[in-house]
């Protein structure tokens, strides 16, 4: 439906897609992308991700800046975290996550009054002081023996008659890495803003370097 429209009539999202298409069509040896998925819907973001992966597979080196942590995690071979103009970390996604520990057990209780009991159970199993999120009724702590830790916490909470909304094991996320490194979460870009569809938010950026050698 856009075939007969002039570019000046495109929406912000369409202009962003056109920018990306013209930058990628020649498959350059090195490609710089500055927050390429800002203003795109989830389908558009996935299309950009696939295009980046395809370029890298064919030998293009891509340096991409983003404030979406999931985007960095899915695309990057190596990540540099930048805050206030300075690089404060530079490593692979797995190595950055390892900085804040391995597996974590996480318990979400049904009643806020049970947070203390859940924290005590998690602390005994983990052998460390758990992190308690009162607003979300969540208790979490790093563990080494995944299966036995989960089994023991479940057994203890059942004995204490603590109603649990959710319980499980998970790996650290890049959001948590960013929070640990900077003291705050990354500020995600706003939606399309104005005719260019390039709404931006101020704050530290995460720069990710993807790719095969040029």
Q: pLDDT digit string (tens) for 160-211?
A: 999 999 999 888 888 888 888 887 666 655 554 433 344 333 333 333 434 3
pTM, 2 dp: 0.62
Asked if pLDDT for residue 115 goes beyond 90, the answer is: yes
For residue 210, what pLDDT is reported?
Answer: 41
Confidence tier at 110 by pLDDT (50, 70, 90): very high
For the sheet with 61-66, list strands across it: 30-34, 61-66, 206-211, 78-83, 86-91
The fold of 7-97+183-211 is: Rossmann fold (3.40.50)
Q: Given this model, what pLDDT does residue 199 score?
A: 37
Compute the chain's Rg from CA coordinates.
Answer: 22
CB atoms within 10 A of CB 163: 9
Buried b (16+ CB within 10 A) or exposed e, 9-42: ebebbebbbeebeeebeeeeeebebebbbbbbee
Residue 10, both tokens: 């495109």
The pLDDT score that the predictor gives to residue 187 is 63
Task: Specify the CATH class of 103-170 in words.
Answer: alpha beta
Average pLDDT over residues 103-124: 92
pLDDT number for residue 97: 84
Domain ranges (residues) in the chain: 7-97+183-211, 103-170
> What pLDDT, on a 0 to 100 scale, did the predictor assign at position 189?
56
């Amino acid at each position: 439906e856009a075939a007969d429209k002039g570019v000046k009539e495109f929406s912000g999202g369409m202009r962003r897609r056109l920018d990306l298409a013209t930058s990628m069509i020649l498959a350059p040896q090195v490609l710089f992308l500055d927050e390429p998925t800002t203003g795109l819907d989830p389908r558009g973001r996935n299309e950009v991700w696939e295009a980046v992966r395809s370029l890298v597979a064919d030998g293009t080196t891509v340096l991409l800046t983003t404030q979406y942590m999931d985007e960095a995690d899915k695309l990057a071979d190596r990540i540099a975290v930048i805050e206030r103009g300075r690089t404060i970390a530079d490593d692979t996604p797995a190595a950055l996550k390892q900085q804040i520990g391995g597996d974590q057990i996480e318990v979400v209780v049904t009643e806020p009054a049970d947070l203390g009991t859940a924290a005590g159970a998690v602390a005994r199993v983990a052998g460390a002081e758990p992190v308690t999120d009162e607003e979300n009724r969540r208790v979490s702590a790093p563990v080494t023996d995944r299966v036995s830790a989960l089994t023991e916490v479940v057994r203890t909470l059942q004995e204490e008659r603590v109603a649990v909304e959710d319980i499980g094991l998970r790996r650290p996320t890049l959001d948590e890495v960013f929070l640990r490194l900077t003291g705050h979460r990354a500020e995600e870009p706003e939606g399309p803003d104005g005719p260019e569809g390039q709404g931006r938010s101020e704050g530290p950026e995460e720069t990710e370097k993807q790719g095969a050698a040029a």
